[in-house]
Amino acid sequence: MDIGNLIESFADFAKQKNIDRPTMIRILEDVFRNMIKKRYGTDDNFDIIINADKGDLEIYRIREIVEDESEDIWDHDKISLTEAKKIEPDFEVGEEVSEQIQIEDFGRRAVTTARQTLIQKVKDLEKDILFQKYKDIVGEIVTGEVYQVLSKEVLLTDGDGNEISIPRSQQIPKDRYRKGENVRAIVHEVDMVNGNPKIVLSRTSPKFLERLFEQEVPEVYDGLITIKKAIREPGERAKVAVESYDDRIDPVGACVGMKGSRIHAIVRELQNENIDVINFTENMELFIQRALSPAKISSIKVDKEKGRASVFLRPDQVSLAIGKGGLNIKLASRLVGMEIDVFRELDHAAQEEDVDLDEFSDEIEAWVIDELKRIGLDTAKSVLNVSKEELVRRTDLEEETVETVTNILKKEFE
């Protein structure tokens, strides 16, 4: 391949990859300057003129004319008067000689090396462009087409044919992928792995939920409603706290939509994930009350220093507050940023029949009693009113220890 065809093919390749003209010329010039350096040791006194569209390349070597006996005659940018006159008889000492260098002078191997270098530089630049493109949109929704479903990840292609992936850890458990279908997700991470950009998407991130609200709720997109915080258990349940600075707008109503039209679109995208939308408030007690919906709370004690809240409910409301598998209270705790302890509210008659935990010090070790008191349980019935699973979750006690304690307490009331 001659140099003209080389430049033309590179220019076409660069255009296909959407590489701008100044960058293309800079890459070409860098490659040819490296050729010059290898042959002449330096490129300081060389000019390169490139017309990529026509495949034209001109290289000029510029040297100052000195006397034949001059000490500088061996400098790379000097030429003797005798040598200069061979180029042009009228040359004189002190003038500059601009001598065109033919590409053939570099040899076929150098041209082949230049071609390989050009292709590699374009590929490297293409990777950098792809990396930067996705780096700039981390946290935004993109759509990809599934082309391969693997055990550890799903591989997709974007609109330009670039590979992007959703690892299993970033997939909603109920997701099922089929080759050729389009999938929406947010750009989660962008890294360089062995010199190649690795674009990781996520469908489990709370950010994905927030972006879906922006797409489905115009007021959120326009900034009239702010999503203060979004918490998810992907595919199961989510809680979203919203706020509006315009008193005329009901943020919850706007997000849910007429007959749930807006929220249903998001729920379907998230594989029927139940979404609770609540009004945000700086009043922590009220915020906790809303976060534990649909449970009705009787009273709350908040300890901001310890980051804990004790919530008291009627017995029939406890299971609603805790939720299936403890999911409701878990999400509520994460939403408000505090550990929430749930207690059954006892009537006065029941309280009178209760027994202080300290009365069992001869049967239950002191450190176990202290651990129960730490989560607000200081009587026998207060412990028995909490499920064994909940006791294990909220304390540092082993399941076997909890079983022993509850058996001892139950005997008191038999």
pLDDT per residue as tens digits for the range 75-97: 888 889 888 888 888 888 888 88
Helix (H) or strand (E) holding 143: strand 141-149
Q: Which of 44-53, 218-227, 356-365 has the highest mean pLDDT?
A: 218-227
Q: Is this model's pTM higher than 0.85 or not?
A: no
Rounded to an integer, what distance in angstroms lies between the CA atom of residue 319 and that of residue 295?
8
Question: 367-391, pLDDT tens digit by residue?
Answer: 888 888 887 788 888 888 888 888 8
pLDDT of residue 266: 94
Q: Over 80: is that where the pLDDT of 151 sits?
A: yes
Average pLDDT of the chain is: 87
What the block records as the tokens of 10 is 């590179």
Give the length of the chain. 414
Strand partners, 240: 230, 277
pLDDT of residue 217: 94
Q: Identify the three-state secondary structure at position 384.
A: helix
AA letter at 22: P
Instruction: Give the CA-trace dihedral at 59, 60, 61, 66, to 10 degrees.
Output: 170
Rounded to an integer, what distance in angstroms lies between the CA atom of residue 358 and that of residue 62?
99
DSSP 60-72: EEEEEEE-TT-GG
Mean pLDDT for the stretch of residues 118-128: 82
Mean pLDDT for the stretch of residues 331-340: 94
Taking alpha carbons only, the member of 41, 40, 274, 23 closest to residue 132 is 23
Higher pLDDT, 24 or 177: 177
* Of the candidate ranges 65-74, 106-115, 191-200, 222-231, the one whose mean pLDDT is the lowest: 106-115
Q: DSSP state, 325?
A: G
Question: 342-351, pLDDT tens digit by residue?
Answer: 887 765 444 4
Higher pLDDT, 27 or 275: 275
Mean pLDDT for the stretch of residues 45-73: 85
Rounded to an integer, what distance in angstroms lies between the CA atom of residue 259 and that of residue 127?
47
* Of the candidate ranges 207-211, 220-224, 394-398, the one whose mean pLDDT is the lowest: 394-398
